[in-house]
Amino acid sequence: MFAILEQSDIQEIHFRRDADSGLHAIIAIHSTKMGPALGGCRFLTYDDDNKAIHDAIRLARGMSYKAVLAGVKQGGGKSVIIKPANYDPEKLFTRFGQFVESLNGRYITAIDSGTSAFEMDIIANQTRHVTSTSREKNPSQFTAQGVFEGIQAAVYHQLHTEHLEGIRVALQGLGNVGFALANLLHEAGANLIVSDINPTRVKQACESFQAEQVQANAIYDVECDVFAPCGLGGIINPETLSRLQCSIVAGSANNQLATAQEGRELHQAGILYAPDYVINAGGLIYASMHHASEPDEHIHTKTAEISQTLSEIFEHSKTQNKATSEIADELAEAKLSAISA
């Protein structure tokens, strides 16, 4: 286990099992150097426990990198609850809230795939170290806004146009972020090709945004300007990469690259990749700054800085002929190591 922690430079990992509620939860904390670790709570089914542990670890590190490049005073953390076949949400998330509380504020939880304000409200009865409850705005709106502006920056850099009118965007995943992003893109005049494993979401997107639909696995083959992954991670992998017919990959999903190698290969293929943890920082910015009672205008200003950071990464990638994913990692690591422990 320590080898795994060392590999990802993880500071702490906590486990909680509760037989009564069926809770099997993991909280990974990458670093608290910049402040309490903040990161969402995933509630998904996993084939085996190791996959859940790896998810928590990888995502926690991404949160540190995300926070330091977004300029918010948080460390990186993530939690995963392995979704049981049968469960009472009130009981399960009450126990999880107690787990979060037991860490005395070193970890602050938030929504992520599989959780919503409903679960956060249950957690909030047990701890104040929680964001994105129903008393707050949905952070996904801020994530979508940041991704939208990041796509604009990528299109400007790669296609030399300031407008999204007529730009073809293949959007994978129409959940909290994907659907809000589709709305913004549609309003800006982009043409959408969408996929989701949930047919209801696809139908809604087709009706609302005059989007074309493709089967979930066919989204990689769509000829487009931008491929926007907004579902789950690991979708840029040896099987999918050679199929991509886009100029830009820019979406909200965390850990889009299966390995660092795919980042290099995208660069070699001339596809501009907007590093996931940079472009999708809007939700973290909102959660962090709202938790610290900062006014909305400061939150919007900070969210708008995402596209500036991306533009700098794109420029460095061009001048150094290096993958954007490597440039972003180097930038985040340099900033993190400049902060004293």
Sheet holding 191-195, edge to edge: 212-213, 191-195, 168-172, 226-229, 248-249, 272-273
**CB-nearer residue toward ligand NAD: 74 or 143:** 143
- Identity at 121, one-letter amino acid code: D
Identity of the amino acid at 82: I
Q: Is 23 among the annotated ligand-binding positions?
A: no
Least Cβ distance, residue 253 to ligand NAD (angstroms): 4
Give the closest residue to 182 by CA, choosing from 198, 199, 164, 197.
Answer: 164
> φ, ψ for residue 187 (rounded to 5)?
-60, -30
Shortest distance, CB of residue 204 to ligand NAD, whole angstroms? 10
Tokens of 138: 């949905």
Q: Binder to ligand NAD among 172, 247, 307, 317 (CB under 6 A)?
A: 172
201 binds ligand NAD (CB under 6 A): yes
Closest to ligand NAD by CB, 17 vs 243, is 243
Q: Which residues contact 191 (CB under 8 A, 6 or more apart)?
A: 166, 167, 168, 169, 212
What distance in Å separates the CA atoms of residue 211 and residue 62, rounded to the nearest whole number? 31
Regarding 176 and contact with ligand NAD (CB under 6 A), the answer is yes
Among 178, 226, 267, 302, which residue interacts with ligand NAD (rule: CB under 6 A)? 178
Told to check if 240 binds ligand NAD by CB under 6 A, we report: no
* Contact (CB, 8 A) for 170 and 219: yes
The gap from C-alpha 41 to its chain's centroid, in whole angstroms, comes to 12
Q: Which residue has the tokens 């494993």?
A: 197
- Work out which of 64, 127, 152, 195 binds ligand NAD, going by CB under 6 A: 195
202 belongs to the binding site for ligand NAD (CB under 6 A): no
* Dihedral angle over CA of 219, 220, 225, 228, nearest 10: 70
Give the phi and the psi of residue 316 in degrees, each rounded to 5: -60, -40
The residue type at 50: N
Task: Please indicate whether residue 335 is annotated as part of the active site.
Answer: no
Q: 33, 51, 66, 78: which one is catalytic?
A: 78
Say how far apart CA 317 and CA 125 lie, in whole Å: 46
The residue count for binding ligand NAD (CB under 6 A) is 27
User: Is residue 231 part of the contact set for ligand NAD (CB under 6 A)?
Assistant: yes
- In the complex, what is the shortest distance from the CB of residue 181 to ligand NAD, in angstroms, rounded to a whole number? 9
Give kind and range of the element (H or E) at residue 171.
strand 168-172
Among 143, 152, 307, 324, binds ligand NAD (CB under 6 A): 143
Q: According to the binding rule CB under 6 A, does residue 197 interact with ligand NAD? A: yes
Residue 134 found at the interface with ligand NAD (CB under 6 A): no
**Which of 130, 167, 192, 230 is the binder for ligand NAD (CB under 6 A)?**
230
**Residue 88 C-beta: closest distance to ligand NAD, Å:** 21
CB environment 282-291: b (16+ within 10 A), e (fewer): bbbbbbbbbb
Single residue of 32, 280, 317, 325 touching ligand NAD by CB under 6 A: 280
Question: Does residue 109 interact with ligand NAD by CB under 6 A?
Answer: no
Q: Work out how close the CB of 268 gets to ligand NAD at its nearest, in angstroms, rounded to a whole number.
A: 25
Residue 237 in contact with residue 218, Cβ under 8 Å? no
Span interacting with ligand NAD, options 70-78, 79-87, 175-183, 203-211, rule CB under 6 A: 175-183
Any contact of residue 214 with ligand NAD (CB under 6 A)? Answer: no
Contact residues toward ligand NAD (CB under 6 A) are: 112-113, 139-140, 143, 172-178, 195-198, 201, 216, 230-233, 252-254, 280, 283
Residues with a catalytic annotation lie at 78
